[in-house]
Chains A and B, each alone.
Chain A
Amino acid sequence: MHAQVRHARFSLIVIGVATLLSVGGYLVALNYLGPKRASGAIGFLGLAGLMGFAGLFYRRRPGQTGVVMDERDSQIRDRTRLGAAMLVLFGFWGVVCMGTWFWFALRYGADAKEIFTIGIPVYWLPFLYMGSAILFEAVWSASILVHYGFGGKDDEA
């Protein structure tokens, strides 16, 4: 199986586990600790840092001959990365920024200027950033798996 496929699968598993633990932990702790303390469970998202070990997949193993990445792999990596970046930029941030504005305009009318000034807790900002970064990694990894036929198509001779 290609190194990029193993990398993509590893990233999706790490993201899945980190998301599950943080959301699940928050929901479980919500009943016992209240929303403020339960939000500590979001710290499980830090597990996403394990993706940093993905570089190990590109190591040449003992006895392995040939190249690990070639021009086609680089092309797939670049194309999927660009696609994922565009989706996060226009999808995620489009929904967060434009969607919020549009929802307010629909709900309160375009003239309700005083309601258009909203405040969000400042600690949401890193979560928004981390959320978009994790979404980017997830979309990128899923696109790579699609390009390689989930690891099976390219191994058929």
Chain B
Amino acid sequence: MKPELKNNIRRLRFDHNGITQQELAERVGVTRQTIIALEANRYAPSLLLAYRIARFFGVQIEGVFQVDESER
């Protein structure tokens, strides 16, 4: 089975003063729909977008995105 990319974006948003999806989207240069798709694990971002999101939250990329090994 294809490994799945999981993320903590929703939790990180709440840890950052509950920033909204719209605010996060504007800060990292995507649409709100893309943030929604990311949080629902329906979309695997480009490396550049992953980097922007991690930098926005002030963590490493691994702190935001993890590959779910159990899906292998």
Contacts and interface: CB of A to CB of B under 8 A. Distances in A.
Nearest to B43: A72
Contact of B32 (A66, A69, A71, A148): A66
Given A71-B49, A72-B43, A66 B21 contact: no
B36 A67 contact: no
B25 interface: yes
Consensus secondary structure, chain B interface? helix
Interface string A33-51: 0000000000000000000
- Report whether over half of chain A's contact residues are helix, strand or loop; otherwise say mixed: loop
Interface string B20-39: 01100110011111101100
Nearest to A72: B34
Given A66-B22, A71-B46, A155 B31 contact: no
Nearest to A5: B33
A70 B34 CA distance: 8
Nearest to A148: B33
B30 A157 contact: no
A65 interface: yes
Nearest to B33: A154
Nearest to B39: A157
Nearest to A68: B31
Contacts of A71: 30, 34, 45-46, 48-49
A69 B25 CA distance: 12
A11 B37 CA distance: 25
B47 to A, nearest CB: 11
A2 interface: yes
A136 B21 CA distance: 34
Contact of A65 (B21, B26, B49): B26
A154 B49 contact: no
A72 B30 contact: yes
Interface string A128-157: 000000000000000000001000001111
Interface of A: 2, 65-73, 148, 154-157
